[in-house]
Amino acid sequence: MVRSGGLRDISRYLATSHLAPADPFAAASIRPQSTAMKTLLYSAWDRIEVADRPRPSPEAGEVLLRVAACGLCGSELEAFKNHSPRRTPPLVLGHEFCGVIEGLGEGVGLRHAQSSPGDGLRPGRKVVSNSLVPCNQCVRCRRGDTHLCGKRQIFGMNRQGAFAEFVNVPADCLIPWPDNLPAEAACLAEPLANGVHVAELVAPLKPKTVLVIGAGPIGLMCQQAMQAMLGVPGGD
């Protein structure tokens, strides 16, 4: 259990509690089916603990994902410390994650095989998840701005997150996880996307020099995106 003032212990829990196996493929072949799973549960204000929770079943249009890795976002530390009303316990946090498809909800395999021939979703497929779940129906979604969807959900906020062995994910939120990318890197696709988005916004200005204020994870990813996408030289 972690109480207020022990925020560093949250990351230690993630590193030592073994919520997700190091080799999800091997684990899938040796572990018996169970109706329960381990989670890092934000059970009450000022309290977070490893707890058993019911293993979810995918709804129509969803997949059941065996989590391989999940990042810890600064917004989650802030929410725990300051009792954010946007993340109200009891709740499983975690929105930066990747994993292996364990099961398919109704209609998922056929629909996605048709939209991506030869590349459809199937059990055993390695994927990375978006942190947002858009409605895909509003004006903003239809024009491609799904991140601005007024009805969007966020894992670990208004739906259960990925600090768990398993999580349900809408199939439309998934992208392939390259085989040559370790889980610890693949789960950082979501924060890296912030840097990519910033670089795309800045690109029309054709900058020769860019100042990134703040050297946290997002700031560093903005820097790397600027260097990789725009050719902006790095600092000394």
Which of 35 and 45 is assigned the larger pLDDT?
A: 45
Residues 177 and 203 in one domain: no
pLDDT score, position 175: 93
With a cut of 70, say whether residue 204 has pLDDT above it.
yes
Q: What is the pLDDT of residues 211-221, one digit of tens each?
A: 999 989 999 99
Q: What is the pLDDT of residues 51-110, one digit of tens each?
A: 999 999 999 999 999 999 999 999 999 999 999 999 999 999 999 999 999 999 998 975
Residue 225 located in a structural domain: yes
Residue 23 located in a structural domain: yes
Residues facing residue 132 across a β-bridge: 154
Residues 216 and 118 in one domain: no
Number of structural domains found in the chain: 2
With a cut of 90, say whether residue 8 has pLDDT above it.
no
| Domain of residue 39, CATH code | 3.90.180.10
Residues 217 and 123 in one domain: no
Q: What is the pLDDT of residues 126-138, one digit of tens each?
A: 999 999 999 999 9
pLDDT score, position 34: 67
Weakest mean pLDDT among 29-38, 117-126, 169-178, 204-213 = 29-38
Residues 166 and 202 in one domain: no
- Split at pLDDT 50, 70, 90, the class of 35 is confident
With a cut of 50, say whether residue 6 has pLDDT above it.
no
Residues 165 and 220 in one domain: no
Residue 75 located in a structural domain: yes
Residues 72 and 161 in one domain: yes
Residue 213 located in a structural domain: yes
Q: What is the pLDDT of residues 128-179, one digit of tens each?
A: 999 999 999 999 999 999 989 999 999 999 999 999 999 999 999 999 999 9
Give the domain extent around 202.
194-230
Residues 201 and 160 in one domain: no
Residue 235 located in a structural domain: no
In Å, how far are 85, 97, 136, 230 from 89, measured between CA atoms?
A: 9, 20, 28, 42
Which of 200 and 114 is assigned the larger pLDDT?
A: 200
Residues 123 and 199 in one domain: no
Residue 176 located in a structural domain: yes
Residues 176 and 78 in one domain: yes
Residues 133 and 68 in one domain: yes
Torsion angle of alpha carbons 154, 127, 122, 168, nearest 10°? -20
pLDDT score, position 116: 47
